[in-house]
Amino acid sequence: MKIAVDAMGGDFAPANVVEGAKSALAEYSAIEKLALVGDEATVRAECDRIGLRDRRMEIVHAAEVVMMSDSAVQAVRRKKNSSINVAMDLVKGGDYGAVVSAGHTGAAVAAATIKLRTLPGVGRAGIASPFPNEHGVCHLIDAGANVDSKPVHIFQHAIMGAVYARHVLGRENPAIGLMSNGEEEGKGNEASRGAFELLKASDLNFKGNVEGRDLFMSPIDVIAIDGFSGNLVLKGCEATAKVLFKWLKQELKSTPFRTLGAIMAKGAFKDTYKKSSYETYGGSPLLGVNGIVVIAHGSSSPLAIKNAIRVGKEAISHAVNPHIEEEIARHNVAVD
């Protein structure tokens, strides 16, 4: 399989991207070709610096870079030679199977939607963001590809999340929840209540309304939500984890005695961080477009990039898109 990586995307690009690609090439023999898309001289210098020499790697030149300040659609339309656009073109051309990017999320979603188009029958693509869960991993979909979602979009996100959980993660009968402001039936806003009815009437393994704690503690595989609220929940959870580790660190350093205790218990902090960190999961697949697109975190470490490439690899090898197409057709709901 062939995977295109946006070498210029992310807060620490191209360094972390190139290093992550090196690890991925070393670890995943299924990768036949890995394209590093970006400014050729810059990317080559970075490869030389870390000693990335692999005949499966090729550098594909892209003259422009999308900046975080660019608007998503403008970035795609005006910066035609940006790394995300060129990477997406490799998939559009049919030669490459997946794109991985830690750059501007909006631009990646726009480029994917404009260039690859949504799969037949799919109204809107959705970002499936993995949350560490005591029973495995829970994917929140949509974590921010859309803002004003209709019930049918939320319903289709649930279907696509279920396909991903079944075919890629091997969950036989994925449990689906709908995130709402309470567990009781009837809770929710207009869009989520509409999605509830569609989910209830379907043959999906629908567990009803769920709340924040279910992301981490319940045997739920997929939580469907509109993209606006989903993005806010994702960022709220991330910010909470970040600030708690920060405050805890400050408190642990406040006396020498506490510091000594912290050094002794160091492994526990590392293990908890590892368990809760997005680095371990790597990336969020954008489900519903005609190609595999993996959105990695903006501040991705090399480990996060490697794991995002793994997510792309798995989505290709488990043929997630043909299965999505099939399931979307089977559930047969009208989208506008």
Residues lying near a second copy in the complex (CB under 8 A) are found at 69, 71, 106, 134, 144, 147-148, 179-182, 184, 186, 188-190, 192, 211-213, 215-217, 225, 227-229, 231-244, 247-248, 251-252, 254-255, 257-269, 271-272, 275-276
Query: Cα separation of 284 and 143, whole Å?
Result: 9
Q: How far is the CB of 136 from a second copy (least distance, A)?
A: 14
Closer CB to a second copy, 9 or 312, in the complex:
9
3-state DSSP of 95-127:
CCCEEEECCCHHHHHHHHHHHHCECCCCCCCEE
Closer CB to a second copy, 116 or 191, in the complex:
191
Q: Specify the amino acid at residue 309.
A: I
Query: Cα separation of 288 and 328, whole Å?
Result: 10
Q: How far is the CB of 165 from a second copy (least distance, A)?
A: 20
Residue with token string 């580790």:
245
Closer CB to a second copy, 137 or 237, in the complex:
237
Q: How far is the CB of 261 from a second copy (least distance, A)?
A: 3
Closer CB to a second copy, 94 or 263, in the complex:
263
* Residue among 145, 220, 146, 133 nearest 180 (CA): 220
Q: How far is the CB of 213 from a second copy (least distance, A)?
A: 4
Kindly list the distances between the CA atom of residue 220 and the CA atoms of 123, 144, 256, 318, in Å, as whole numbers in the listed order. Answer: 24, 20, 43, 21
Q: How far is the CB of 88 from a second copy (least distance, A)?
A: 21
Task: Return the beta strands (E) in the chain as ranges.
Answer: 2-6, 33-38, 57-61, 98-101, 126-133, 136-141, 175-179, 205-210, 222-224, 283-287, 292-296
Closer CB to a second copy, 45 or 147, in the complex:
147
